[in-house]
Amino acid sequence: MSPDAAGRVRALDVGAGDAWFAAELLPTLPPGSTVTCWDTGYAEHAPPAPTGEGLLFTPERPAGPFDLVLMLDVAEHVEDDVGFLATIARSLLAPGGTLVFSVPAWPLLFSAHDVALLHHRRYTPARARALLTGAGLRIERSGGLFHSLLLPRALATLRDRATGRSVSAAAALEWRGPDLLRRALELALRADNELSWRAATAAVDVPGLSWWARCRRS
């Protein structure tokens, strides 16, 4: 990131939705920092109530530049992902700024779940890297995410194709299971995330259900 002289950071969360991540991020930034939540959905549905000073909401493209831009599971929803990312990198990300990016991985896993979530595609790591470097970004770290979910999703995809099963958007986003299992999965995913970070630090690319990268604009 490239904060101002007072150490404040201007962050942008693209496709922020309910702003949960933005609200978690803001307290970790230097005092006086802001996180702008940009989501076209706010034009039809009121954005969440602000959960802290410095959390901003807009349905329109905000004015840059920003020191930190988050694009977490956004590119797959955009038909022209190449043009969209290039515009963000060129117009919204400050020189020397950081962009954190994640997308669902492996086109072979594209399924009814993706259709319900209005995904245009899933990405191979090579295609995601090409997308980022083509936008003028330098990848500093990258790797897989949610390694433990890769096999279950592959099996579910095979089931959906064999049965012709469809999934509603509500079902794709809804957890259905006992609370004990939910807590066990939370613990497993925390361990999964630790594996992802250690693998990325060691420059070992372990496949996962998603792929992420931390990039910098030159």
Region of 7 on the Ramachandran plot (φ > 0 left; ψ -120 to 50 alpha; else beta):
left
Interatomic CA distance for residues 14 and 11, integer angstroms? 10
β-strands 66-72, 93-104 pairing: parallel
Mean pLDDT to the nearest integer, 146-166 = 84
Mean pLDDT to the nearest integer, 87-93 = 96
Question: Which DSSP symbol is given to 52?
Answer: S
Check whether 171 has a pLDDT greater than 60: no
Residues 6+ apart with CB under 8 A from 118: 77, 169
Cis peptide before 3 (omega within 30 of 0): no
Check whether 167 has a pLDDT greater than 70: no
Expressed in percent and rounded to 5, the helix, strand and coil fractions of the chain are 40, 25, 35
Whether the CB-CB separation of 217 and 94 falls below 8 Å is answered with yes
pLDDT, tens only, 43-71: 888 877 766 689 999 999 999 899 999 99
- How many residues can be counted in the chain? 218
Q: Given the structure tokens 């909401």, which residue do they identify?
A: 57
Domain positions in the chain? 64-217
> At residue 60, what is the residue type?
E
Q: Which CATH class is domain 64-217?
A: alpha beta
pLDDT, tens only, 119-147: 999 999 999 999 999 999 999 999 998 88
